[in-house]
Amino acid sequence: MTSQSNQIASLFAACWRDEALKARFMANPRAVLAEHGVDVPDGIDVKVVENAGDRVHITMPAPPRGHLELSDDELSNAAGGTCSATCVVYRTL
């Protein structure tokens, strides 16, 4: 585990013991993270949500850079450069 991961894990444990800290963390995560040695770069928005017995939050990661870029082969295929066996089935229907 990285040092930052350890700091965040310690913060979570502290929040479980201290409701006031947890409330401050949920209201102003950037300030509480800074108090616990975790630097958040400018321009990054931080939101804290809490899982519960009947609610789970799933964070979908941001797509990787260039995920919408296609290679020349992919572009050729997308533009109708190939026809598979399904083309023949649809033509005969």
CB neighbourhood size of 54 (10 A): 5
Q: For residue 13, give both structure tokens.
A: 């444990």
User: HSE-up of 90 (CA within 13 Å, CB side)?
Assistant: 5
Query: What's this model's pTM, rounded to 2 decimal places?
Result: 0.63
Residue 91 has pLDDT above 50, yes or no: no
Cα-based distances in Å from 84 to 51, 71, 73, 89 = 46, 20, 15, 10
The residues, ordered by sequence, that sit 6+ positions from 46 with a Cβ below 8 Å of its Cβ are 29, 30, 33, 40
Q: How far apart are CA 69 and CA 48, in angstroms?
A: 32
Residue 19 has pLDDT above 50, yes or no: yes
pLDDT tens digit sequence for 20-70: 999 999 999 999 999 999 999 999 999 999 999 999 999 998 888 777 777
pLDDT tens digit sequence for 73-87: 776 776 655 555 555
Q: For residue 22, give both structure tokens.
A: 């947890």
